[in-house]
Amino acid sequence: MPSYLGAIGTANPAHRIAQPQIAEFMARALQFGESDTRKLRALYRVSGIEHRYSVLPDYGRPLGEYTFFPNTPTLEPFPSVGQRMAAYRREALPLAVEAVRASLAQVPDVDAASITHLVTVSCTGMYAPGLDIELVQALGLRPDVRRTCVNFMGCYAAVNAIKLADAFCRADAGARVLIVSVELCTLHFQKSPEEDHLISNALFGDGAAACLVQARPLPGGVPSLSLDGFHCGLEPDGHDDMAWHINDFGFEMTLSSYVPKLIQRGIGKLTDGLLASLPVQLRDIRHFAIHPGGRKILETIEAELGLTRDDNRHAYRVLRNYGNMSSATVLFVLREVLAAATPADHGAPVLSFAFGPGLTMEAMLLGLCVAPATRHAAHQPATEVAEVLS
């Protein structure tokens, strides 16, 4: 029997900044001339992003009003890893707590003492004692809650957290797993005109997401998703095209313009590998939750799998309103899928992808469980509705 994921809660920092404002900050910080500034503005216009959130107000302020970066034309002395990690430690916990409370508010019958496992996810900051222990204290979780940290895996890490939660629940039908992802990507702005850095500076934002996973549908008729299948693919040729390294002045993202081509080459094989052991075919799937790594990535997947832009509407909405929030992003997209689902969608399969360093490509098949609370709550996973779908 499958496990179930639901009650997705999200949170973003207070500073919501329009993409053109961020472009002006970047041009100023990089000391670009008129020609390069014009090209940078064009890059931001075609990104598919309208706003991003940051724990730092500086990206929307003029020089002289910065609170994190130095108020000098060159931003020197440029913030060190230590300064960035101090900001992460200050900001990550309140954002994570807000996301968890938004999650638990959807299931009033679930209290903190009933959570048996806590899985925290982040690639934008680390410290010890860490976020996991601070969450136990802040949320009043049991001191014997089983804690697992998924760190530094990039944008696909939430899928690994979901896999872990699924394994816990399959091993123990009484398990109730809280997953918490928090990413403060904007702490790691790199003052470099290299293409990789220009692209990553144009895409990433801050956010947190939390959800519950357990061995049965969530109580109270709360919409959830059955976890019906997982598959991981690697494109080793992309080892140097998407990477994440700790250097002296923050974590440096390598994100080359070749990544969409790598995904184009591997997405069909990834999908086939996921569906090979499941009685569901791609043509049967009408719901998608694709990690919006960037506009070009979404368009590439559409072209390869024969999807429409409307099929991908949830990913575009998240990209437009939040940008790429690394591991938290796919949970934001799944929240959109659940919010849009109706009882008529009960049992329908959902195909989800996420991507990250390696180049790693993760795929999930989920099933919508949106039956009214008055109806029998036993959900048939996508693997059990093949006859209906065929």
- Residues 371 and 379 sit within 8 Å (Cβ to Cβ): yes
pTM: 0.93
Q: How far apart are CA 62 and CA 24, in angstroms?
A: 9
pLDDT of 346 > 90? The answer is yes
pLDDT at 252: 72
155 is catalytic: yes
The pLDDT of residue 304 is above 60: yes
Q: What is the mean pLDDT of residues 44-58?
A: 97
**pLDDT score for 280:** 93
pLDDT of residue 302: 96
pLDDT at position 359 is: 85
Handedness of CA 113, 117, 122, 125 (dihedral sign): positive
Res 253: pLDDT: 67
Q: Which domains does the chain have, with CATH numbers?
A: 223-389 (3.40.47.10)
- Of the pLDDT bands very low, low, confident and very high (cuts 50, 70, 90), residue 266 is confident
The per-residue pLDDT for range 181-206, each reduced to its tens digit, is 999 999 999 998 988 889 889 999 99
Can you tell me the distance from the alpha carbon of 46 to that of 53, in angstroms, rounded to the nearest whole number?
18
Structure tokens at 258: 């070749």
Per-residue pLDDT band for 240 (boundaries 50, 70, 90) equals low
Average pLDDT over residues 90-116: 96
> What pLDDT is attached to residue 238?
64
Report which of residues 169 and 244 the model is more confident about: 169
Annotated catalytic residue: which of 123, 149, 155, 211? 155
- Using one digit for the tens of pLDDT, what is the confidence trace for 353-377? 999 887 899 999 999 999 764 333 3
> For 61-76, how does the pLDDT look when each residue is reduced to its tens digit (9 = 90+)?
999 999 999 999 999 9
